Every structure is written in C-alpha cells, then in structure tokens.
Structure 1
C-alpha cells in the first residue's frame, strides 16, 4: 500500500513508507501496519513542508527538529517490522541537510542581510499547487482527509521561552468537528500550528478479527513511541511533559501585570522544583532568564541609564559623552521614545503577550 505525502518545492523527495516483499505474520497485519507507517511518513512530509516553506527561522528550526524526531520514530517502527520499508529516504535526508544549511547560513548573516519573514507562512508562494498543512489551517476537518487514521486535529504550540502563555495553555487542544475549521489561536505564524491527531496504532489497526498477538504488538509500538516521543524546543528535543509545565510556570511570572523590578524579584524568589533545575541551567539560570526578558536598557554615564533620565538630558550633555555623535544621538532619542512602560527602570520589558 503506497501513500506518498507531498513536500512542496521538492515533491520528488517526499518520504514514502510501503511494505517490502517479505514473510509477514498475515497479509492483513502487513497492510494495516503499512497504512500506519505511511501516515507517519505523511506527518514527516507535512513538518518538512513547513520547515521548507517558512521564512520565520524559529518556526523553520522547530518544525525541522520535529520532522527529524518523527523520522527517527518511523525508522524504529521499520526496524521492529521488517515488512515495512522506506523509499526516498536518502533524498529526504539530503533535503534535511539542505534546510539545516539554510539555517546555518541565516545564523551567519548580519541582521541587515537577513530576509524579513512574511506575516504568515501559509501565504508563501511555492512551486507546487498541492495543498499543505499551512493552507488547511482554516479548512474544516473534513477537508484534511485520512479520517480512518486520525482522531481530529491537535494544536501544537511552539515550545519556546518567547511563546505567550495564551498559546501554551492551548497546546494539545483537540478539534473534532468535521464541519468547522479549527479555532484561530495564533496571532503570528511561528506561535503554533494545527496538525492531524493520529490515532494510536491500537485504535487505527485493531479490528474484531485481530489476534491477541497483533493487539499486543500494536500496544508495544504505542508504548515505545510514547516513551521516546519528544518535541522541538529552544534547548533542543525534549519531552513535552517535562518542558511545557516549566514554560507555563515561567510565563505566569513574567507576564504578570507588574513592574519589571517586581517580576524579577518573583523570578529570583520562586522555588522551582528540583526536576526543573536542569532546564534552568540550560537557559543560563535565573540570571540568563532575566537578561533575556528584561535586558539592561543602556548605561551612557552615571545616572543616565533609564529612558526617562536619558530623554530628559539635553543634547549638549549626551554629545559630550565619548562615542556619541549626532547620528548616535538620534538613535538614542528614538530608542527612548519607543519605551512605553517602566520608563524609570534601567531595564526594558521584552515580554510579549
């Protein structure tokens, strides 16, 4: 049974999962496992399609990491069931390397050289007219197809420090109304995406005539996938159940309607669980989080370190500071004017909600 997903801009490299000629326990079991493997391959193609098309590089990075993880899972399934094979694997791996090269090139570019992202990756023009997951975001569930192997749609939030609490709290939400499109949750394309919610192998493949051996086989596959399942994050692949509660707890602190000083105080005084200490360490500890969300504004001279103080200083005073000329002075004035809140603080608020 051959089911090929579509990878836009390079449809010939779509990953294909299909049964090889071998001696399976039963023809029906081989067919069913092949369908499930093909669906995994389809998920990989969807994620790679987003990674390929997106001009938002954090989104590109996250979806590529998820695709690589799914590919690892599929290869694990194939190793458990020799009758399942993958074609176009070499081409897909080569395209993964190409996208990784794009990301590396982007990181090496200066800010002025980097391309500006479109508002939504769904609108990116591509070489293929095939419908993709980005174009299905505002379509009813019935338009997504594969009803025999999906339960509905599942919202996948981008699990990163910058992701707002309103998005994180919707992560994992399921949409099952076939007549309606999924609700609009995101405000920017990078924040998250609706993806097909695959049935478990047991749900998708078991039937009244399934043998006990087959049922146990499917349950073992589901248990194995649950054990190794990880998601992409800003600190690399990580178990969703480990990282999501940490992000939610962190965002509940930094998004509080309070001064910068009080929020920093709450961060420092919070007794994070022992299991989260390794996550804090990977973010350079509390000091690293403070610098990320509330970086120092600018310290031009003694007493000139807040937007209000610098804005109140006359041009003559600022121009007398070494390194500040007319052009730099204009930039400083613009920076001060752009700060709308906490203007008497020597740090700026980089938290977006």
Structure 2
C-alpha cells in the first residue's frame, strides 16, 4: 500500500522532474526546485564526509537542512568534503500514518557507523588537530581524551585496530602531500623528527639528507614545493 502510494507520487511529478541523465553531483549548489519530484523532496540535507581529514568547519555542518530559495551554501571547499542530498518528506507529511525508520549506518574511515555516534568523535578530534600546537602536543591531548571520554575511546580503538600507527599515521600521511614523498618516506621523516610540512620545508639540506632514503633528487622536489 505504501509502495503504491509513493509510486503514484513519483509518477505524478514525472513531467516536471529533472532529466534522468542528471546526477547528484551535477545538481550540487542548485535550487531545490531543480531536483524535481516536488511532491516528495522539500529540502536538502548536507552530508559531510565522515573522515578524520574532513575540516572541522565542514563537519559542523553535517545534517544541516536547507529549505530556502536559491542555491544551498557551498560548505564543501573540495568535492570530497561533503555533498547536499535531497531530503524527502516524512511519512506523515505524505499522509501516511507510519513512524520513520531508525537511523541507519553510513560509511566512514572507521567502518560502518551511525553518524550520530561517530560525528562527536570527529568534532573533538578535529578541534585538537586544528589547534596551533605542535604535533607532539596534539598527540598528548588526543591520548588524554581517549582515556577520559568513553565515546571517544570507542572510535579511537577502532582506528587503532585499523592502523596500528594511529594517531601518528594521521600526521605523517600529511607529509605525503609534498611532491615526491610517499607514505613510507613520510613515516621515515616523521620518525626522524620532521613532523609537519613546515618543519620539512624549513629544514636545512644537511638535516634532510641525513634521513635514510632522502637523496639529492628528492631534496630538489622538496625545495620546489
């Protein structure tokens, strides 16, 4: 009965709906009206990418609803940061006396999680790593929180199970953003005391060449960044 009702709603709006060739990506930052199916869709919901690397300002927007005119705010500074998704009316808004389904799981870098449980961890994690502290100070703060906050501890342990180098790997992988430096070399540099991109860029040639695996060709690439 419910399926039949929804099918009729979608079919009734078929003529005014968007072309089947349009994708969610192509509809980003477009007014709600351009998504079509106005009988079903009444707003957009921002879905942030639930990963450790997603900026704090973007994560804070997760779950935000936009129902105004015009295009929704561009919270994602890069495409992978997040996406606006169509939000359908509730069953009762559609005239169906049925309760909404419980929150489902979603993909993340910690596996399949409930956003309401994982998001608080990510927010606290990003609050610390985005502070103007040294990497060592950030790690101390993170480890302290993993012992004091039960929810934080759960996902901290999940990441440790996935990557034994966590949380150090989170920081040394950022060194791989420098042209010519892969994850293996990034780890070697990190273990030799170069824990941020700025520390590598500000190091002398002699200091960098003292790290096993760093040769003159890599040094040239580093200097060109």
TM range (shorter): 0.7 to 0.9
Counterpart for residue 125 of structure 2? 250
Seen in structure 2, the aligned counterparts of structure 1 residues 158 and 309 have a Cα distance that, compared at 3 Å, is closer
- Equivalent residues of 2:139, 2:167 under 8 A apart: no
Aligned CA RMSD, in angstroms, stands at: 3.4
What is residue 32 of structure 1 aligned with on the other side?
5
**What is the distance in 1 between the residues matched to 2:223 and 2:59?**
32
TM-score, with length taken from structure 2? 0.73
Q: Check conservation: 2:201, 2:222, Cα contact below 8 A.
A: no
1: CA distance between counterparts of 2:53 and 2:160?
16
Q: Residue in 2 aligned with 1:292? A: 170
**CA positional deviation for 1:191:** 0.9
Q: Specify the alignment match of 1:275 in structure 2.
A: 151
Whether 2:125 is the aligned partner of 1:152: answer no
Alignment of structure 1 residues 77-156 onto 2, 5 Å = 130-156=21-47
Per-residue deviation at 1:312?
4.3
| Equivalent pairs, count | 198
Pairing of 1:188-199 with structure 2 (within 5 A)? 188-199=78-89
- 1:166 aligns to 2:57 (yes or no): yes
CA contact (8 A) 2:50 2:109 kept: yes
Q: Structure 1: how far apart are the matches of 2:213 and 2:167?
A: 30
**Any conservation in 2 of the 1:140–1:182 contact (CA below 8 Å)?**
yes
CA contact (8 A) 1:155 1:195 kept: yes
1:201 counterpart SS class: coil
Q: Distance in 2 between matches of 1:171 and 1:313?
A: 46
Give the SS at the match of 2:156: helix
Cα distance in 2 for partners of 1:187, 1:281 equals 30
Q: Tell me what 1:332 maps to.
A: 219
Q: Is residue 135–residue 171 contact of structure 2 (8 Å, CA) maintained in 1?
A: no
Partner secondary structure for residue 25 of structure 2: coil
Q: 1:202 and 1:240 mapped to 2: Cα distance?
A: 24
| Residue 189 of structure 1, CA deviation | 0.9
Q: Which has the larger radius of gyration?
A: 1
Q: Distance in 1 between matches of 2:31 and 2:201?
A: 51
Structure 1's unaligned 5+ residue stretches are 1-23, 40-127, 207-214, 339-353
Residue by residue over 1:317-342, the C-alpha shift from the partner in whole angstroms, topping out at 9 and shown as x without a partner, is x49x8866xxx32203433674xxxx
- Say if 2:51 is the partner of 1:176: no
Distance in 1 between residues matched to 2:115 and 2:207, nearest whole Å? 52
1:239 aligns with 2:132: no
Distance 1:262 1:202 in 2: 51
Partners of 1:197 and 1:299 in 2: how far apart? 46
